[in-house]
Chains A and B, each alone.
Chain A
Amino acid sequence: MKTALLIAIAAILGTMLLALMRALRGPSVYDRIVAVNVFSTKTVLLIALITYLTGHADLIDVALVYALVNFVAIVTVLKLVRERNLAPAKDPGDHRPDV
């Protein structure tokens, strides 16, 4: 059983290496974002596999939180690339609540 886990971990690590190569090389910034997205998804899987390999059941919570943070990070980076500014200043006379 351990061999299957180790093979899966090796494949995931290889994928992370390839994604890292694309992130370093990628001509446009979107290529880099795709590579980082793949990298972070594979990190979640790697943590889940390590949980089963070592038998520490608590580690799965780390993977869960990482999966949650991951999506927010990608969307935030996309917005930053598009808008160049995450929190534009409001007009002083504008009393509408932030949306």
Chain B
Amino acid sequence: MFEITLNALSAILLVTGGVFALIGGLGLIRFPDFYTRLHAGGVTDTLSPLLIVAGLILQSGGTILSLKLLLILLFLLFTTPTASHALARAAMAAGLRFWGGERASTDSEDRR
């Protein structure tokens, strides 16, 4: 009984992680400018490893394999936000324009 529950939970986590990855890929294709694409890619880069690694760890239990998977997850959770931040910063410094151009910036100034 316990085994079946564990397997079902693991399957749900794996499939959800795959679906999140696909959503991120779709956002990467469909979104209109660089910053929104970075958002789609960056968010799913942390969320889908979290779900998939959790699903895999539920299958292998307390082995060295799980430890290595946890190390991978830890490293990904540190590096992907850092890479996204560096990318956004480099794009801002290079003067990449927002979607909507001038209008978006004047709108935000009006709101202030």
Cβ of A21 < 8 Å from any Cβ of B? Answer: yes
**Chain B at the A interface: SS class:** helix
Q: Give the CA-CA distance A63 to B76 in the complex, in Å.
A: 11
Output the least CB separation between B22 and chain A (Å). 5
Nearest-CB residue, chain B, relative to A1: B7
Which A residues touch B17, using CB under 8 A? 8, 11, 45
Determine whether the beta carbon of B15 is less than 8 Å from that of A81: no
State whether B45 touches A37 (Cβ < 8 A).
yes
Complex CA–CA separation, A42 to B7 (angstroms): 23
Contacts known (A18-B26, A18-B29, A71-B79); A4 close to B11, Cβ less than 8 A:
yes
In whole angstroms, what is the CA distance A40 to B82 when docked?
Answer: 15
- Whether the pair B49, A41 counts as a contact (CB closer than 8 A) is yes
Report the nearest A residue to B78, measured CB to CB: A71
Shortest 3 CB-CB contacts between residues of A and residues of B: A11-B18, A18-B25, A4-B11
A–B complex contacts, Cβ < 8 Å, 12 sampled: A8-B14, A8-B52, A14-B22, A15-B25, A19-B25, A34-B34, A34-B42, A37-B87, A42-B21, A52-B59, A60-B65, A70-B79
What is B's interface to A at a CB cutoff of 8 Å? Answer: 7, 10-11, 14-15, 17-19, 21-22, 24-26, 28-29, 34, 37-38, 41-42, 44-45, 48-49, 52-53, 55-56, 59-60, 64-65, 68-69, 71-72, 75-76, 79-80, 82-84, 86-87, 90-91, 93-94, 96
